[in-house]
Amino acid sequence: MNNLDGKTAWVTGAGSGIGRATAIALAQAGASVVLGDINPAGLEETAGLCGDAATLSLTQDVTSEAAWADGAAAIDARFGRLDILVNNAGIMMAQPFEGAPVEILRRQNRINVESVYIGMQVALPLMRRTIADGAKGASIINIASVYGMVAGAQFAAYSATKGAVRSLSRAVAYELAKTGIRVNCVLPGPVQTNLGADWEPPRDETGAPMPPEVALAAWAQLIPMGRLGIAQDIAPIVAFLAGDDAAFITGAEFVADGGYTAA
């Protein structure tokens, strides 16, 4: 299972969280992993955790078409192939919808949706060539969220972007189904990462800021399994979808949320 020997994978948002855990999982499965992140320090740490498999690190702004093109050129020069793309980079901003500036939506849309759109387009020529050279197929995995399925308090703009990622993934999967390039979507539930690191502090019923540990404990109580997810809960799903064992899976969605959306 999950033998990725000889494959090249590009993971965005690899400097921390789900991106880091995914990069490690792909490296452990045998892939050469290209790490993309806007944070050089995070990239360096992830590269160390991946060992020799992390053969290329890209300081990458995923909203920049030029950065994507430069990354693809670097991968082509180093490997001459691309088998796996994991569009993981994202941002989560919480704010009540009423009175929220439209820039809250625009910023999240640029990072969460436009980067996925650009990344898939940039990856396709390399992936088509990889298949033409004899690979069984190629795999794109886009990271969405259960908040693209269900409502989350103060996450209207974020939910809109993750709903868009779901629809975009299905549409592209349908178009590419006969090419051998598969597109699937993973929908994590609440996971302990730094995705919302720039949130305003959550507040209690009196309006006072809540300590992070109190807010996280309250959130965990909403999950039937009784805990928040961790990045390592998500990475194995991505690793499975990346490999040839998932050769008949495209246009699918995989929810990992501890039962959060089961009710």
Give the amino acid at 227: R
Active site residue 147: no
Using alpha carbons, select from 23, 43, 74 the residue that is nearest to residue 239. Answer: 23
- Give the N- to C-terminal CA distance of the chain in Å, as an integer: 32
Give the amino acid at 60: Q
In the set 147, 158, 174, 260, the catalytic residue is: 158
Judged by DSSP in three states, 230 sits in coil
Strands (E), 117-224: 138-143, 181-188
Judged by DSSP in three states, 183 sits in strand
User: For residue 6, is it left (φ>0), alpha (ψ between -120 and 50) or beta?
Assistant: left
Q: Quick check: 18 and 188 in contact, CB under 8 A?
A: yes
CA distance 10 to 124: 13
Catalytic residues: 158
